[in-house]
Amino acid sequence: MTKPLKFLNANRSTFFATVRERVDVYFQSQDLSRHANGAMWAKTVLFLVAFAGLYGLIISGQFGPWVMLLLAGLLGACCAFIGFNICHDALHGAFSANKRVNKGFSLLFNLIGANPYVWTITHNIVHHTYTNIPGHDEDIEVAPGLIRLSEEEPVRPWQRFQHLYAFPLYGLASLSWVLRKDYIKFFRPKIGQHPTPQHPRKEYVNLFVYKALYYLLFIVLPLVVLDITWWQFIIGFLTLHLVEGFVLGLVFQLAHVVEGTAFPSPDETGDVQEAWAVHQLRTTANFAPRSAIASFLCGGLNRQIEHHLFPRICHIHYPALAKIVQQTALEFELPYLENPSFFLALRSHYRMLRQFGRTA
């Protein structure tokens, strides 16, 4: 069996202990819960009402083809925002102190086409532990063989054009989740270098039952109740998922694959010679951190540094935590990577695609 990768605090850094203590003091002094507050609940209700409303308008069949196409795109974006804002926090146990509330909201992940159990393994365990480590973090393997995002990946001649075709490929992320990715990862013996655990029997049932429910709601029902042709349905279905996948894929890329982020490899002993929290600072970047719109829509994932250090704290608190984390990183002379705007982050990611593609 492959030796588990370990993070060794070779420099005896006390950064994480210090920043964690300061965050604890902040919540205690402000008498605040680490979980959802009134604003978070209001946002949750808004996104769920928007989802139900958009789906209902589409199923009603009361609109022409162009309006239906617009509604499909808006529903795709809404699905992504529900994933960012509600499901993501719930799956990290950050939405509520009540495990049943987190469990209930995590089930919504099935309605945007993804399996919450598989996500917990691939994201919560693997990605959050082995961030940006080639061969371990499969989240940077967006389209293996097509998009090259690290020096460890094999070089292929067509990748010199990846800065041109990568963005359309991001749009396929959601469709992949719905049709193949969850099945593949569920039945693989390991994800990255992390052995896949023996799945509880109920998770086999959940995987197929909830996938069947998704296919019923988004494929069978529209074809049965709407007066549309098969090709009109395909266009609408693809529009939904291309928008959803593009939003999901792009937000992740802007947080981990921009100029300044590291893609470290283990040393000859198979370990990383730095503290885990320091590794998170080197491999993660914020974007548009002071944008109220980005914070509202992205569920705090524009402040990815704070999320990686404190994934069990609701994202509604990240603006306050950012000041603490940034100041502490400065004191310890550690990087705190930020792109001030969405477009600067987008440009930085484009440059990274050209950099890794140019080698090809």
Whether 319 and 303 have beta carbons less than 8 Å apart is answered as yes
Both structure tokens of 357: 């593609």
Per-residue pLDDT tens over the stretch 30-55:
999 999 999 999 999 999 999 999 99
User: Is 1 part of a structural domain of the chain?
Assistant: no
**Cα distance between residue 175 and residue 247, in whole Å:** 13
Helix 65-82 and helix 230-256, axial crossing angle in degrees, nearest 10: 30
Chain centre distance of CA 345: 16
**In a domain? residue 100:** yes
Number of H helices, E strands in the chain: 18, 4
- Domain limits for position 314: 6-357
Specify the residue for token string 């990768």: 5
Residue 268 banded pLDDT, cuts 50, 70, 90 = confident
pLDDT of residue 5 exceeding 90? no
Q: Does 193 fall in a domain? A: yes
Q: What is the pLDDT of residues 278-290, one digit of tens each?
A: 999 999 999 999 9
**How far apart are alpha carbons 126 and 295 in whole angstroms?**
25
Task: Please indicate, yes or no, if residue 21 is contained in any of the structural domains.
Answer: yes
Domain total in the chain: 1
CB-facing half-sphere around the CA of 194: CA atoms within 13 A = 24
What is the CA 72 to chain-centroid distance, rounded? 22
Question: Is the per-residue pLDDT at 359 higher than 80?
Answer: no
List beta partners, residue 306.
none
- Are 61 and 225 in contact, with CB atoms under 8 Å apart? yes
Rounded CA separation 46/272 (Å) = 43
Instruction: Kindly state whether residue 130 falls inside one of the protein's structural domains.
Output: yes
pLDDT tens-digit readout, 133-176: 988 888 777 777 888 887 778 888 999 999 999 999 999 989 99
User: Three-class SS of residue 347?
Assistant: helix
- State the Cα–Cα distance between residues 292 and 300, nearest whole angstrom: 10
Phi, psi of 153 (to 5 degrees): -75, 145
Q: State the pairing for strand pair 190-191/194-195.
A: antiparallel
Residue 160 lies in a domain: yes
- Tell me the whole-structure pTM to 2 decimals: 0.92
Select the highest-mean-pLDDT range: 6-15, 154-163, 335-344.
335-344
In a domain, 77, yes or no: yes
